[in-house]
């Protein structure tokens, strides 16, 4: 099965058809997507700022685990709602440079967070230990990647033909 056939199959899924046919369902799915993005940015931004050295009075061991779990929740919800939105016009999105940039940045952001959370330096940080250079650089990369993903996502609508 080639990519076009996969995209056509996705476009024919019952929920994709329902979203396209409904006068309001797309609006609600889009709103849920925006809210889930808010959860991601609202949790990752303050954590990353703390990791790169701002807000030093806020203990990483207090905010790190909670904000990390909140970010995972936001990412899962964003992927689900994003797939629903993608399913409405998968062929158009698959050829959209902004969409492809967003997907690349999303994958990079998830990989960065996953790799960081597997390190002993992260475990040390969330136990109240010092923030290593690795943790700080991961926080900086995360800040840049997620901001880029947000901007690329906003760019999608301006690139669609």
Looking at residue 43, its pLDDT comes to 97
Task: Over range 70-74, report the average pLDDT.
Answer: 97
Residue 157: pLDDT band with limits 50, 70, 90 = confident
Q: What are the two backbone dihedrals, phi and then psi, of residue 96, each rounded to the nearest 5 degrees?
A: -95, 120
Tokens read off for 124: 């040390």
Nearest in space to 103 (alpha carbons), one of 77, 82, 76, 80: 82
* pTM (global) more than 0.85: yes
Residue 1: pLDDT band with limits 50, 70, 90 = confident
For 74-103, how does the pLDDT look when each residue is reduced to its tens digit (9 = 90+)?
999 999 999 999 999 999 999 999 999 999
Looking at residue 63, its pLDDT comes to 96
For 24-66, how does the pLDDT look when each residue is reduced to its tens digit (9 = 90+)?
999 999 999 999 999 999 999 999 999 999 999 999 999 999 9
Q: How many helices (H) and strands (E) does the chain have?
A: 8, 0
Taking residue 75's Cβ as centre, other Cβ atoms within 10 Å add up to: 22
How many Å is the Cα radius of gyration of the chain? 18
The answer, yes or no, to whether residue 159 has pLDDT greater than 80, is no
CA 104 to chain centre: 10
CA 53 to chain centre: 23
The answer, yes or no, to whether residue 161 has pLDDT greater than 60, is no
Tokens read off for 144: 């840049």
């Amino acid at each position: 099965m080639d990519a076009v056939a996969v995209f056509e199959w996705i476009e024919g899924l019952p929920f994709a058809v329902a979203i396209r046919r409904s006068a309001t369902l797309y609006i609600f799915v889009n709103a849920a997507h925006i809210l889930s993005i808010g959860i991601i940015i609202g949790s990752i931004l303050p954590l990353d700022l703390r990791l790169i050295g701002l807000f030093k009075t806020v203990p990483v061991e207090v905010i790190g685990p909670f904000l990390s779990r909140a970010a995972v929740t936001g990412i899962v919800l964003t992927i689900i709602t994003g797939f629903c939105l993608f399913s409405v016009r998968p062929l158009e999105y698959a050829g959209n440079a902004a969409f492809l940039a967003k997907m690349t940045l999303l994958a990079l952001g998830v990989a960065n967070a996953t790799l960081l959370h597997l390190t002993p330096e992260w475990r040390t940080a969330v136990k109240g230990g010092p923030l290593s250079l690795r943790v700080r650089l991961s926080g900086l990369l995360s800040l840049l990647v997620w901001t880029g993903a947000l901007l690329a996502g906003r760019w999608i609508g301006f690139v669609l033909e």
